[in-house]
Amino acid sequence: MAKRTFLAGVTSQTMDIFIQDSSSTVGAGLSALVFNTAGLKAYYRKGATGSATSITLATQTVGGAWSSGGFVEIDATNMKGVYRFDIPDTILASTPWAIIYFYGATNMAPVVAELEIVSYNPFDGVRLGLTALPNAAAEAAGGLYTRGSGAGQINQPANGMIDANVVRWLNTAVTAATAGIPDTNAKNINNVSTSSVTTINANQGTTQPINFTGTAGSALVKTDVIDWISTAAATPTTAGVPKVELSTWLGTAPLALSSQQVQAVVPSSTVVASVTGAVGSVTGNVGGNVGGSVGSVVAAVAITSNCKKNQALSNFEFLMTDSITHAPATGKAVTVTRSIDNGAFAAGTLSAVTEISNGIYSVNFGSGDLNGNVIVLRATAAGCDDTFERIVTQP
């Protein structure tokens, strides 16, 4: 019985089989079979639950490219009865095994070929294709350590022990004071920097050094405040409560305070408010909360207009600004619409927008565009802040 081992999922595989001449008393090979010899058949069974499935044999040459079911004799003189067979990919697609059976030609002894189809790679000489193992030789870079004292080995002087030399502390080379005793510098003791003390008291018992209260993790340091920023601390009004005097508050001298009272004085130049929404540039001081993205805050300005109601107006100029830098924006394709007396914005009879320079553009109003008491112009462009201009017309 022919037997071969294959990695599951491989394709375009070929194997050789030997077919005996059943009429020979010495077990000689049967020669001259071809893929379509009368009566010649091939079947396979896949796994313990598989059923007999026919294999379609195909013409082939000894050195030809793989072809599913390919069948050809190797050498009728020197290897009589030995045939090349190209295994169909479906047989090797998955584990565990398969049986291939050839029979039916005149004077042909049946042939059984057993294929072991495995999930490891029997042709991988390093790790058998098992990805959980390093893909490198033992003791080589990236490979497994072995027991011993050489390169890529771990020395074990006794059971349960590993012989190790400490070379670095936190990636810093270790300096040895004497053999087996590292020379170390303690940065902190009990979470206190050694640079701030001249004497180290290694008290490990329940009694703490002077000016400590409590033990172990609950130990606290007792302190007396002598100075506030190198100035003698004022006498507290009650024990344990430090006396604090404010010289200024937000840059302004505080008002006179009564006992137990703190009064916050905000300078008159500061605006206290909560600002939400889009805020761009803010002039002056703002105290309080500013929420949202920064857009622009513009004060309301009284507008006086010489525009006539229901009368055309040419060369009305306005500014377009970049939506990120808020600087004047040039080279923009600007679209304008207008709202008349609280009406919806519409194109009306506004002319096409003309760019002047330095972010200034102009548009012409038709008479119908100004047929109202209050006209609001809106100008938009890609990458620009929206521009709104309000016009109060005269009769």
- φ, ψ of residue 394 to 5 degrees: the values are -105, 150
Residue 100, beta-bridge partner list: 44, 113
| Closest residue by Cα to residue 266 from 243, 244, 291, 288 | 288
**Is pLDDT above 80 for 288?**
no
Q: Are 290 and 277 in contact (CB under 8 A)?
A: no
Give the separation between CA 42 and CA 58, rounded to whole angstroms: 11
DSSP assignments along 86-148, one per residue: EE-GGGGSSSSEEEEEEE-STTBPPEEEEEEEESS-TT-TTTTT-TTS-SS-TTSTTS--EES
234-257 pLDDT, tens digit each: 666 666 666 666 566 566 665 555
**Hey, what amino acid is at 163?**
D
171-224 pLDDT, tens digit each: 888 877 777 677 777 777 777 776 666 665 555 555 555 666 666 666 666 666
Give the separation between CA 82 and CA 13, rounded to whole angstroms: 17
Give the separation between CA 128 and CA 120, rounded to whole angstroms: 6
Exposed (0-12), middle (13-18) or buried (19+): which is 2, by Cβ within 10 Å? middle
Query: What confidence category does residue 95 fall into, taking pLDDT thresholds of 50, 70 and 90?
Result: very high
State how far the alpha carbon of 309 is from the alpha carbons of 30, 93, 352, in Å. Answer: 113, 86, 21
122-150 pLDDT, tens digit each: 878 787 878 677 878 888 888 888 888 78
pLDDT at residue 148 in the model: 83
Q: Are 334 and 316 in contact (CB under 8 A)?
A: no
Q: Give the mean pLDDT of the chain.
A: 81
Domains by residue range for the chain, with CATH: 2-118 (2.60.40), 313-392 (2.60.40.10)
Cα-Cα-Cα-Cα torsion 146, 147, 150, 156, nearest 10 degrees, comes to 150
State how far the alpha carbon of 313 is from the alpha carbons of 95, 138, 367, in Å. Answer: 86, 90, 7
Query: What confidence category does residue 290 fall into, taking pLDDT thresholds of 50, 70 and 90?
Result: very low
Exposed (0-12), middle (13-18) or buried (19+): which is 71, by Cβ within 10 Å? buried
326-385 pLDDT, tens digit each: 999 999 999 999 999 999 999 999 999 999 999 999 999 999 999 999 999 999 999 999
Query: What confidence category does residue 82 fall into, taking pLDDT thresholds of 50, 70 and 90?
Result: very high
Percent of the chain with pLDDT over 70: 70
**Is pLDDT above 50 for 287?**
no
pTM: 0.40
Of residues 242 and 22, which shows the higher confidence score? 22
SS3 content of the chain, % helix, strand, coil (to 5): 5, 35, 60
Give the separation between CA 162 and CA 34, rounded to whole angstroms: 66
Give the separation between CA 71 and CA 62, rounded to whole angstroms: 9
Of residues 196 and 293, which shows the higher confidence score? 196
Q: Which of 2-6, 224-228, 367-371 has the weakest average pLDDT?
A: 224-228
